Structure 1
Amino acid sequence: MIPSFWNRTVGHLISLTVLLWARTMLSLKVADIVGSNAEHIVQQNLNQIVLGVIKFTLIGIPASLVNSGLKYEVRMLSLLFRKSLTEHIQEQYLRKTNFYKASNLGGDSRIDNADQRVTQDIENFCNSLSDLYANLFKPILDVTLNFYKLSTTLGFRGPIFLFFYYALSASFKRLLMPSFGRLTARASELEGDYRTAHQRLIANSEEIAFYDGANREKNIISRLFQAVYHHATETNYLSYLTGIFDEFLVKYGSSITGYAVLALPVIEGRTGNRTAGDLTNEYVRNRQLLINLAKGVAQLIVLSNKVTSLAGLTARVSELLEMVNILDEAGSAPFKITSESTSESSSDEAHHHEIYEAEEKKFLVEWRERAERRRAARKSSNKPTVVNGGGTYFPGDMIKFNDVTLVNPDGKVLVEKLTFEVKRNCNVIVTGPNGSGKSSLFRVLGELWPLHHGTVTKPDNDCILFVPQKPYLVLGTLRDQIIYPHSEEEMKAQGATDKDLEHLLSLVDPSRTILNQWAWGDVRDWFNAFSGGQKQRVAMARLFYHTPIYGILDECTSAVSIEVEDRIYNTCKKLGITLFTVSHRPTLRKHHQFELNFNGEGGWSWLQIQEAYEDQ
Structure 2
Amino acid sequence: MARPYWLGDQKKRAWTLLMLLIVLMLVDTKLAVMLNNQTGELTSALAARNSGRFWTPVRACLSILALAVPTYAFYYYMRDVFANQWRRWLTGRFLDGYLKGRKYYELGSGSEIDNPDQRISEDINTFTGRSINFLLIFLGSIMQLVAFSTVLWSISHVLVGVLVAYAVMGNVVALYFFGSPLIQLNFWQLRREADFRFSLMRLRENAESIAFYRGEAQERTHIDRTFDKVIRNFATLIKKQRALNFFQRTFSQLTVVLPYVILAGGVLSGELEVGRATQAAGAFSAVLGAVGVIVDNFESLSRFVAGIGRLQALSNLVLPGVAPAPATAAGAERPCIRMTPCTHLALESLTLCPPQSDRVLIKELSLVLKPGDALLITGDSGCGKSSLLRAIAGLWHEGSGVIHHPPIEDVFFLPQQPYLQASTLRSQLIYPSVRCDLNDGQLLEILEQVHLPRLAERVGGLDAVQDWEKLLSVGEQQRLAFGRVLVHKPDIVILDEATSALDSGNEASLYARLRDSGATLVSIAHRAGVLRHHTHVLHLHGDGGWEVIEASGYEFDKPATPAPARQPVAASFVG
Normalised by the length of structure 2, the TM-score is: 0.56
Aligned-residue offset at 1:264: 5.3
Cα distance change of structure 1 residues 80 and 559 upon mapping to structure 2, 3 Å threshold: farther
**Alignment match, 1:177:** 178
Paired residues of 1:35 and 1:281 also in contact (CA < 8 A): yes
User: 1:379-402 CA distances to partner (integer Å, 9 max, x unpaired)?
Assistant: xxxxxxxxxxxxxxxxxxxxxxxx
Which residue number in structure 1 is paired with residue 100 of structure 2? 95
Give the letter aligned to residue 119 of structure 2. Answer: R
Report the RMSD for the aligned CA atoms in angstroms.
Answer: 4.0
Describe the SS at the equivalent of 1:124. helix
Could you list the per-position Cα deviations for residues 82-124 of structure 1 after superposition, in whole angstroms to 9, with x for gaps in the alignment? 12211221221122422222223x354xx42121111011111
User: Judging changes above 3 Å, is the alpha-carbon distance between structure 1 residues 29 and 332 closer, same or farther for their aligned structure 2 residues?
Assistant: farther
Query: Do structure 1's residue 139 and structure 2's residue 141 form an aligned pair?
Result: yes
Q: How has the CA–CA distance of structure 1 residues 113 and 221 changed in structure 2, closer, same or farther, with 3 Å as cutoff?
A: same
Match of 2:556 in 1: 587
**Residue equivalent to 1:322:** 316
1:150 and 1:328, CA in 2 relative to 1: closer, same or farther beyond 3 A? closer
Q: 1:341 aligns to what SS in structure 2?
A: coil
Cα gap change, 1:48 to 1:328, in 2 (>3 Å): closer
1:340 aligns with 2:359: yes
Q: Residue 176 of structure 2 aligns to which amino acid in structure 1?
A: L
Question: What does the per-residue CA deviation read over 1:62-97, in whole Å, with 9 as the maximum and x for residues that have no partner?
Answer: 110121122112212221221221122122112242
1:307 match: 301
Superposed counterparts of 1:540-555, under 5 Å: none
Q: Is the 8 A contact 1:181 1:313 kept in 2?
A: no
TM-superposed CA distance for 1:246, in Å, is: 0.7
User: Residue deviations 1:30-51, cap 9 Å, x none?
Assistant: 1111111112222333233223
Whole-angstrom distance in 1 between the partners of 2:505 and 2:265 = 91
**Residue of structure 2 equivalent to 1:512:** none
1:126 partnered with 2:95: no
Gap regions ≥5 residues in structure 1: 273-277, 351-407, 415-428, 437-532, 534-557, 565-584, 592-616
Q: Would the alpha carbon gap of residues 175 and 339 (structure 1) be closer, same or farther in structure 2, given more than 3 Å must change?
A: closer
Structure 2 residue 57 is the aligned partner of structure 1 residue 38: no
Partners of 1:324 and 1:213 lie apart in 2 by 37
> What amino acid maps onto 2:123 in structure 1?
D
Partner in structure 2 of residue 153 of structure 1: 155
Partner of residue 236 from structure 2, selected from 234, 237, 242: 234
Residue matched to 2:258? 257
Q: Distance in 1 between matches of 2:260 and 2:538?
A: 80
Q: Shift of the alpha carbon at 1:294?
A: 2.7
Matches of 1:344 and 1:327 in 2, distance apart? 36
1:29 aligns with 2:100: no
Contact 1:82 1:126 in 2 (8 A): yes
Contact 2:361 2:542 in 1 (8 A): no
For residue 181 of structure 1, what is the amino acid of its counterpart?
I
- Is residue 3 of structure 1 aligned with residue 6 of structure 2? yes
Q: What aligned pairs does 1:202-221 form with structure 2 within 5 A after superposition? A: 202-221=204-223
Aligned partners of 1:132 and 1:306 also within 8 Å: no
Change (3 A) 1:586 1:185: farther
Deviation at 1:342, TM superposition (A): 6.0
Residues 311-360 of structure 1 show CA distances to partners (whole Å, capped at 9, x for unaligned) of 11111111111111499989986797454226999xxx99xxxxxxxxxx
Q: For 1:372-421, what per-residue CA distance to the aligned partner results, in whole angstroms no more than 9, with x for missing partners?
A: xxxxxxxxxxxxxxxxxxxxxxxxxxxxxxxxxxxx98699x9xxxxxxx
Corresponding residue SS for 1:240: helix
- Partners in 2 of 1:434 and 1:125 — Cα distance? 56
Deviation at 1:26, TM superposition (A): 1.3
Residues 5-42 of structure 1: CA deviation (Å, up to 9, x unaligned): 85222122111111222222111111111111112222
Q: Distance in 2 between matches of 1:204 and 1:559?
A: 34
Matched, 1:13 2:18: yes
Aligned partners of 2:152 and 2:284 also within 8 Å: yes
2:127 touches 2:304 (CA, 8 Å); kept in 1?
A: yes
Q: Deviations over 1:128-157 (max 9, x none)?
A: 211111221112221222112111121x22
Quickly say closer, same or farther: Cα 1:262–1:332, change in 2 above 3 A. Answer: farther
Aligned pair count reads 366
1-structure distance, mates of 2:292, 2:244: 13
In structure 2, give the amino acid aligned to 1:587.
Answer: F
Q: 2:132, 2:218 → 1: CA distance? A: 43
Q: Which of 59, 62, 74 is matched with 1:57 structurally?
A: 62
Q: Secondary structure at the match of 1:177?
A: helix
CA separation in 1, counterparts of 2:358 and 2:174?
54
- Residues 342 and 59 (structure 1 numbering): CA distance in 2 closer, same or farther, change over 3 Å? closer
SS of the residue corresponding to residue 289 of structure 1 reads: helix
CA contact (8 A) 1:38 1:280 kept: yes
Could you tell me which of 432, 445, 457 is aligned with 2:503? 432
Report the TM-score, using the length of structure 1 for normalisation: 0.52
Please give the alpha-carbon distance, in whole angstroms, between the structure 1 residues aligned to 2:538 and 2:120: 34
Q: Is the 8 A contact 2:36 2:283 kept in 1?
A: yes
Q: Confirm or deny: 8 A CA contact 1:98 1:327 kept in the other structure.
A: no
Contact 1:39/1:281 (8 A) holds in 2: yes
User: Do the aligned partners of 2:189 and 2:230 also contact (CA within 8 Å) in 1?
Assistant: yes
AA paired with 2:260? Y
Distance of 1:50 and 1:317 partners within structure 2: 55
> Are the structure 2 counterparts of residues 434 and 559 from structure 1 closer, same or farther at C-alpha, using a change threshold of 3 Å?
farther
Structure 2: 5+ residue stretches without partners: 325-335, 340-350, 365-378, 381-468, 476-499, 508-523, 525-536, 544-553, 561-575
Which residue number corresponds to residue 280 of structure 1?
Answer: 274
Counterpart of 1:139, as a letter, is S
